[in-house]
Amino acid sequence: MWKLLTDSSADLPKSYYEENDIGVINLSCLIDGEVVWGRNKDLEASTFYQMMRDGAKPTTSQINPVEFKAFFEEYIDEYKEILYLGFTSGLSGTVNNGRIAAEEIMDEHPGVKIIVVDTLCAAMGQGLLVYYCNKLWKEGRTMREVADFAESNKMNMVHLFTVDNLFDLWRGGRVSKTSAFIGTLASIKPLLHVNYEGKLVSVSKVRGRKKALSGLVDMMAEKMGSHKEQNREMIMINHGDCLEDAKILADMIKERFGFENFMINNLSPVIGAHTGPSLIALFFIGDIR
Number of domains composing the chain: 2
Indicate the average pLDDT of the chain: 92
Q: Are residues 39 and 146 in the same domain?
A: yes
Pairing of strands 113-118, 81-86: parallel
- Do 146 and 10 lie in a common domain? yes
| Between 150 and 204, the higher pLDDT residue | 150
Q: What is the pLDDT of residue 190?
A: 84
> Are 115 and 105 within 8 A, CB to CB?
no
Residues 24 and 139 in one domain: yes
State the CATH number of the domain containing residue 92.
3.40.50.10170
One domain, residues 10 and 116: yes
Query: Of 109, 129, 154, which residue sits at a domain end?
Result: 154
CATH number at residue 247: 3.30.1180.10
pLDDT value, residue 183: 44
Checking if the pLDDT of 182 tops 60, the result is no
136 and 161 housed in the same domain: no
- Of 96, 121, 154, at which residue does a domain stop? 154
Mean pLDDT of 2-23: 97
Residue 92, pLDDT > 50, answer yes
Q: Can you give the pLDDT at residue 176?
A: 47
Question: Quick one: 138 and 164 in the same domain?
Answer: no
235 and 162 in a common domain: yes
pLDDT tens, position by position, 148-177: 999 999 999 999 999 987 656 655 555 544
List, as one string, the DSSP characters of 252-286.
HHHHHH----EEEEEPPHHHHHHH-TT-EEEEEE-
Does residue 30 sit in the same domain as residue 166?
no
| 182 and 246 inside one domain | yes
Q: Are residues 37 and 141 in the same domain?
A: yes
Query: Are residue 91 and residue 177 in the same domain, yes or no?
Result: no
Q: Which helix (DSSP H) or strand (DSSP E) does residue 69 occupy?
A: helix 65-73
Task: Check pLDDT > 80 for residue 84.
Answer: yes
Whether residues 128 and 110 share a domain: the answer is yes
Question: Rounded distance, CA 113 to CA 115, Å?
Answer: 7
Tens of pLDDT, residues 215-270 = 999 999 999 999 999 999 999 999 999 999 999 999 999 999 999 999 999 999 99
Quickly state the pLDDT bin for 39 (edges 50, 70, 90): confident
Structural domain that includes position 234: 156-285
pLDDT at 186: 41
Average pLDDT score over residue span 190-211:
89
Element (H, E) at 235: strand 235-239
Domain end (from 104, 136, 154): 154
